[in-house]
Chains A and B, each alone.
Chain A
Amino acid sequence: MATTVEDTSSTIPAAPISLPEGPWKQIPGGVTAAKGFKASGMYAGLRVSGKKPDLALITCDVDATAAGAFTTNVVAAAPVVYCKKMLEMSKTVRAVLINAGQANAATGDAGYQDVLDSVVTLARLLKLKPEEVLIESTGVIGQRIKKGALLQALPTLVNMLSDSVNGGDAAAVAITTTDLVSKSVAIESQVGGTPIRVGGIAKGSGMIHPNMA
């Protein structure tokens, strides 16, 4: 079931990233470049076809100050509704789970319950409170997530967590859908004379006209 971290980042090439000029330098990695963050990505059998990794996890060793921007589409997916609720209640987060294959959108109460079940199970494994865990989903709209396969994969996903570049790259691949490349970048700069790092991963290739708030 699980794919090693090294294998996953070889499933699709990385996108060329062009950054604006500024007082920073690009460094390897993405979400794991900044201190305190770990990530993992694996194939959990969620995708309709193919063996590309499809489940990713990003964690922070401490309570991370959290912000979110979400679609203003009225038909918001269950994970969007859940995350907005959590960020209204709490200023910090410890983990983000991301599944690819099914969007869990237009799935009604059952879809929202799938979000809760996934978050509660992962929180228990990470010894966190459920409200410290957020979730993002992407894939076919109208389809519920393959919850059985997802929950079964969580222990392996947690064990694979790594603060290495590979950990971040594996997560970048696992969140893709029709993307031809994975998207990941990190920079190092200074704030008040102290070196800091900012990094990230993203996905997206179709149904792209974000109006997030």
Chain B
Amino acid sequence: TMLGVVTTDALVESDVWRKMVKVAVNRSFNQITVDGDTSTNDTVIALASGLSGSPAISSLNCPEALQLQACLDSVMQGLAKSIAWDGEGATCLIEVTVTGTETEAEAAKIARSVASSSLVKAAVYGRDPNWGRIAAAAGYAGVSFEMDSLRISLGDILLMECGQPLPFDRLGASKYLKKAGEVHGTVEIDIRVGGGLGRGKAWGCDLSYDYVKINAEYTT
């Protein structure tokens, strides 16, 4: 279960605030995954006191609303990433960035599909730069794209371009994964699926033996 409480002293009208929060949740908490299990209790409550004396925001399209939306996205993404970073049994955070789709929602869907893949998560734990699993998880996300547009990189190591697997420094790629695990750092997976302007991110973590151990013990 994830719970969140977000507060601000900006002055914002109720309907606008509710729309802003929904957008920010979709760009943050709804883009994380640890085990693919959606809880019965997931909740985010967002409260605005209005005590800062800032100008009242009564429309989504004014500059002030865009400023507040950016702040809200940032705080929620910071918190959401820390949840994925602290996933049960995790040794590293996995950040998946997808570009080249027609819409933000399509990119977000592919990114979350890859971040949710048990095979991708297990490969990261095994320090295996398994680009095939990444491609497969992107392929079953339910978003259509041209196979020969597919480009995949792990950190700054290019694994696939124009849908063709590339020769790459396998040992170096494995070391990249190993180092991230040693410092509980971040593994970055970048995927490009076409020429569109859509881009989205998702965050997850690697799948370790400890995940099973923790959940076999955390019983009813």
A residues contacting B by CB (< 8 A) are 15-20, 22-24, 31-37, 58, 60-62, 64-73, 75-77, 79-80, 83, 91-93, 96, 98, 103-106, 134, 136-143, 171, 175, 177-181, 183-187, 189-192, 194-213
Q: Give Cα A61 to B6, complex, Å.
A: 15
Q: A76 to B75, Cβ gap below 8 A?
A: no
Inter-chain contact B46/A68, CB cutoff 8 Å:
yes
| Among candidates B67, B78, B88, residue contacting A185 with C-beta atoms closer than 8 Å | B78
- Asked if residues B71 and A194 are in contact (CB atoms below 8 Å), the reply is no
The minimal Cβ–Cβ distance linking A163 to chain B, given in whole angstroms, is 11
B197 within 8 A of A: no
Given the complex of chains A and B, what is the CA–CA distance between A62 and B50 in angstroms?
Answer: 9
A interface footprint on B25-61 (CB within 8 Å = 1, 0 otherwise): 1000110111111111111111111111111010000
The residue from B3, B48, B116 contacting A204, defined by CB atoms under 8 A apart: B3
Query: Within the complex, what minimum Cβ distance (angstroms) separates B99 from chain A?
Result: 16
Give the docked Cα–Cα distance between A37 and B50 (Å). 11
In the complex, A181 Cα to B86 Cα: how many Å? 7
Enumerate chain A residues within 8 angstroms of B30, measured Cβ to Cβ.
210-212
B184 to chain A, nearest CB (A): 8
CB distance from A170 to the nearest CB of B (A): 13
Distance of A209 Cα from B81 Cα, bound (Å): 13
Asked if residues A198 and B39 are in contact (CB atoms below 8 Å), the reply is: no
A68 CB, nearest partner CB in chain B, Å: 5
The CA of A106 and the CA of B72, in the complex, are separated in Å by: 32
* Interfacial residues, chain B to chain A (CB-CB below 8 A): 1-10, 12-14, 17-18, 20-22, 25, 29-30, 32-55, 57, 63-64, 67-68, 70-88, 116, 186, 211, 214-215, 218, 220
B75 touches A71 (CB 8 A): no
A177–B50 touching, CB < 8 Å: no
A73–chain B nearest beta-carbon distance, Å:
5
Q: A79-B41, A175-B3 are in contact. List 17 more A-B contacts (CB 8 A).
A: A34-B7, A64-B48, A80-B43, A103-B39, A139-B1, A179-B86, A185-B78, A192-B64, A194-B52, A194-B54, A195-B54, A198-B8, A202-B5, A203-B2, A204-B34, A205-B34, A210-B30
Known: A67-B18, A80-B40, A200-B4. A210 touches B82 (CB 8 A): no
A71, B42: Cβ atoms closer than 8 Å: yes
B85: A residues at CB distance < 8 A: 15-16
Decide: B40 and A196 in contact? CB cutoff 8 A.
Answer: no
User: Of all chain A residues, which has the CB nearest B34?
Assistant: A208
Contact A209 B43 (CB under 8 A): no
Return chain A residues, CB-CB under 8 Å to B72: 198
Q: Which residues of A contact B79 (CB under 8 A)?
A: 17, 183-185, 200-202
Known: A202-B2, A208-B35, A210-B38. A195 touches B74 (CB 8 A): no
Q: How far is the CA of A186 from the CA of B32 in the complex (A)?
A: 20
Nearest residue (CB) in B for A84 is B43
Q: A191-B64, A196-B52, A205-B87 are in contact. Are A18 and B75 (CB under 8 A)?
A: no
* Of listed A18, A66, A205, A213, residue having the most chain B CB within 10 A: A205
Q: Which residues of A contact B70 (CB under 8 A)?
A: 22-24, 189
Closest A residue to B18 by beta carbon equals A67
6 closest cross-chain pairs (CB), A and B: A204-B2, A36-B49, A208-B34, A200-B6, A192-B55, A64-B47
Q: Which residues of chain A have C-beta atoms less than 8 A from B71's C-beta?
A: 22, 24, 187, 189, 191, 196, 198
Q: B86 — which chain A residues lie within 8 A by C-beta?
A: 15, 179-181, 183, 204-205
A residues near B88, Cβ cutoff 8 Å: 178, 205-206
Complex: chain A residue closest to B41, CB-CB: A77
Cβ 8 A contact of A207, one of B6, B35, B67: B35
Q: Is the CB of A91 within 8 A of B74?
A: no
Q: Which of A19, A91, A96 contacts B45 (CB 8 A)?
A: A96
Say yes or no: A208 contacts B8, CB within 8 Å. Answer: no
B3 and A203 within 8 A (CB): yes
